[in-house]
Chains A and B, each alone.
Chain A
Amino acid sequence: MTISETNSPFIALSSISKAYRTRAISVPIFDNLDLSIEKGEFVAVMGPSGSGKSTLLNLLAGLDGPDSGDIKIAGQRLDHMGEAARSAWRAHHLGIVFQFYNLLPMLTAEENVELPLLLKPFPASIRRERVAKTLDLVGLCGFGRQNPSRLSGGQQQRVGIARAIVSDPTLLLCDEPTGDLDRASADEILTMLGYLNRELGKTIVMVTHDPEAAEAADRILHLDKGAFVERARVMS
């Protein structure tokens, strides 16, 4: 797959409509939603519960599809892809950071980090090398053999971030990455995300309820009843 180098935005959602349906009722989430995010941007998405934040992340991750509208990321139409193609796309272009880390408890930290590399044609030696470098990058050098349950919340989230970036994806989706952490640990994670954005050029979309966390982003989008209220913010 190649990444489009045209002038179009890195992420472009246009006229997205999405509703959740049960047998009896249909609950609209988005109605003609548009969104553009440039390559290398760090965008925070805030909003009350039920405003569509998680649905937006699921659409961007290709885990869910829109009822109508286009989703174009890195020049590729996600809404045109089948299930297998979207899995392959996620494996190559996407890293996801979860609120509750979602580490596999039966694996060590380095085995968790290695998982996305199994989707790529790397030999074991290269995988080990990349895992070690990535754990070093997130400040967990020497913790690779630890089981996740023996790590603090902040350390577990750093393992989660290492897992998300180990395959060098262009896009990071963060679902409340500091939601389960104390303030100090949350600040460490936000600093790390800022580093990944500024120094490694990762495009980051972060859903958060925490205004302080949102302040780490270049741009904060307020989502309310399926529509964006945008506030410009300039990084110092």
Chain B
Amino acid sequence: MRSTIRQITAMSRTTLLSIPRRLAISLSMVGSIMLVVCVLSGFLAMARGFEITLQSAGSPDVAVVLGGGPREEGNSEIPPDVIRSLMATRGDIGVLRNDRGVPILSREIVVPVEFRTDPDAVGETLALRGMDETGPGVRAGVTLSSGRPIQPGTREIIVGEQLAARYSGLGVGNRVRLGPVNWIVVGHFSSFGSALESEIWGDIDAVAAAFNRVGEVQSLRLRLAVTDQIDGLSRAAAEFVGAQLIALTEAELYASQSAGTARLVRYFGWPIVLLMAIGATAGALNTMMSSVSDRTVEIATVRAMGFSRVSACLATWLEAVLLSVVGVGLGLATSWLMMNGWEASTMGANGTSLAFQLVVGRDAMVEAALVGLAIGAVGGAVPAFAAARLPVTDALRGRG
């Protein structure tokens, strides 16, 4: 056993020391694996970043009531009489109430609006959310980072930090045109980088009036008395049979929204990565066959001395695996340095722009590393067997 280990060690050493003779093709293998790792970790970082952004926007302390059946705000509708009935409910439905015993809720609608940085620029669709004065307070973790709150009934807006950072035109004090009317930016709000920061908030009546949607309410936001305890509100919502109300926590709402998009990113990314991986595996196989060809005489010489086939096989395979380890290492380092925290944006709910940060997390790195290592392991297997089966006499004769 010791002899076998010494043989494998010695052959692996000679194999690795001979890499400078075929540096270019070895680097091409490292590069192709690095590329696959980068692309895969990029897709996974995108999916994970999107998930984190949306999930962090949703709080288990906040309940969302939607009407009409769907689990998304865009197609939801809550009749006014239902809102009045809910506000008049006296029983314990598990939500916080004000001094008068009325549930603290915010009526909300979301309107996609086109925003242009200048009149000739291509417009970008942003989410303008109309809400009651209670809206910011109902939400957990939202703070005003600059400016002041909106005055009810006015065309004033506050803008999420991420949007404000992206568009200089959304600075505090600026007048911006959203839809048919002008609005004044009176403040910026922060929510720890969550998806909420990709929204613009205004007064619900002003927003509804500006977009000809007076009286419409898409969702209700309420603050739960106990975290994640939504049963009381769900039971109350179920009593409004005709309105098809659904009560769920904000965390559940955003998780269901993020799951679909993140799954789409992964489903789109994996086939591309697998195709690239197949190409990289073919490249690795070619590289390692070149290695065997380059080392033919050396392999034959030590085999003639009595070195085993296993040592020739494993040394070749180890070279492939080590080159893939280098490729994986460089790929992970590159993707982490270049992509982790990188700002991206995509279409969120209602077709509006949603900013998020790519997150090259541990799971993404492990998955990408395993794919990279698999390329080396699979691509090196056939050449490793070729090294083991090398006809020694032919190889030695060829030297002469």
Contact = CB atoms under 8 A, between A and B. Distances in A.
B306 A88 contact: yes
Contact of B308 (A84, A89, A99): A84
Interface residues of A, number: 32
B306 A102 contact: no
Contacts of B14: 104, 106-107
B400 interface: yes
B398 to A, nearest CB: 11
A98 B306 contact: no
Residue among A63, A87, A107, A175 with the most chain B CB within 10 A?
A87
Contacts of A106: 14, 17-18
B314 to A, nearest CB: 14
A96 B7 CA distance: 18
A87 B303 contact: yes
Contacts of A102: 297-298, 301, 396, 399
A143 interface: no
B307 A119 contact: yes
Nearest to A89: B306
A70 interface: no
Given A58-B393, A118-B3, A121-B3, A87 B308 contact: yes
B397 interface: yes
B304 A61 contact: yes
B392 interface: yes
Contact residues on B (Cβ < 8 Å of other chain), bracket: 20 to 34
Nearest to B295: A104
Nearest to A100: B399
A163 B304 CA distance: 12
B319 to A, nearest CB: 13
Contacts of A128: none
Contacts of B7: 118-119
Given A63-B396, A94-B306, A96-B304, 7 more contacts: A83-B309, A91-B306, A102-B298, A104-B302, A106-B17, A106-B18, A115-B10
Q: 8 smallest A-B Cβ distances: which pairs? A: A91-B306, A106-B17, A90-B306, A102-B301, A118-B6, A58-B393, A87-B306, A119-B306
23 contacts: A54-B393, A63-B304, A63-B392, A63-B396, A84-B308, A87-B306, A87-B308, A87-B309, A89-B306, A90-B304, A91-B306, A92-B306, A98-B301, A98-B396, A98-B399, A99-B400, A104-B298, A107-B14, A107-B17, A115-B305, A118-B6, A119-B307, A121-B3
